[in-house]
Amino acid sequence: MKNNLICVLIGAPGAGKGTQAKSVANYYNCKLISTGDILRENVENRTLLGLEAKKYIDNGNLAPAQIVVSMIKNVVKSFVENKAGADKSLLFDGFPRDLEQNKLFEQILDELNLSIKGVIYINIDDDIVYERLTNRRICPKCNRVYHLKFNPPKFDNLCDDCKVKLITREDDKIDVIKKRLEVYKKLTYPLIEYYRKKNKVVEINGNKSADDVLKDIIAGINCAK
């Protein structure tokens, strides 16, 4: 595989970014950077960053750009510095989310002599967003993600690995899902259009099964490379 494959996964809440990101990162041997996961880890550990971000996450808003971008900058810089002369492939899940974050993101990549190869846009219908998120359950111990219909645990409401009771994410309440979807359309659509004009968008039909979506993403990235 060509070195320094830099890709971004964009999609509505529940589009399947997290589900696909792990498989795609494994397939291409990329480092996966998920801002949602990093922010949730900070919330769980009650760091200052986490306490600040929680106010926004719980309401379905984006955390402030300066918090998210400086967090990303540190992760990316330390990854790249430790990879001198080696492959620096990176997959971003949920970052950047708007034009403001993207401007700062492009500056970070420029400084590190990297550039985006492709933006994978997982497009799903609004009714499927609600269906996915109201049926999502997560393990509070290992963060494994389940879906009550499409990817259910083997035993009623228990994590297959940890055997602890599954929970619903705080931001998967109907009113918060609605807000997240509004924020996504207002702030992320212009970003998708920005990359469309640069011919970098690989649009994937996210309404299909997880296996089919993965096949389409890999085919799309292979064309973009």
Size of the site for ligand AP5 (CB under 6 A): 32
Torsion 102-106-109-115 (CA) sign = positive
CA pair distance 33, 80, nearest whole angstrom: 13
- Residue 84 token pair: 């001198």
Query: Which parts of 87-116 interact with ligand AP5 (CB under 6 A)?
Result: 94-95, 97, 101
Q: Which stretch binds ligand AP5 (CB under 6 A): 16-24, 42-50, 103-111, 191-199?
A: 16-24
Q: Which stretch binds ligand AP5 (CB under 6 A): 56-64, 106-114, 192-200, 216-224?
A: 56-64
Q: Which of 63, 71, 116, 120 binds ligand AP5 (CB under 6 A)?
A: 63
Q: Which of 151, 187, 218, 224 binds ligand AP5 (CB under 6 A)?
A: 151
To the nearest whole angstrom, how small is the minimum distance from the Cβ of residue 58 to ligand AP5?
Answer: 8
Query: Which residues lie closer than 8 Å to 174 by C-beta, 6 or more apart?
Result: 130, 134
Q: How far is CA 39 from CA 11, 13, 44, 109, 221, in A?
A: 18, 15, 9, 21, 27
Cβ pair 109, 115 in contact under 8 A: yes
Cis peptide bond prior to 96, omega within 30° of 0: yes
State yes or no: is 196 an active-site residue. Answer: no
State yes or no: is 132 an active-site residue. Answer: no
Q: Which of 6, 36, 119, 159 binds ligand AP5 (CB under 6 A)?
A: 36
Q: Is 145 in the site for ligand AP5 (CB under 6 A)?
A: yes
Q: Which residue has the tokens 């994978």?
A: 120
Query: Which residues lie closer than 8 Å to 38 by C-beta, 6 or more apart?
Result: 71, 75
State yes or no: is 144 an active-site residue. Answer: no
Interface ranges with ligand AP5 (CB under 6 A)? 11, 13-19, 35-36, 39, 56-57, 61-63, 68, 94-95, 97, 101, 132, 136, 145, 147, 150-151, 171, 180, 209-210, 213
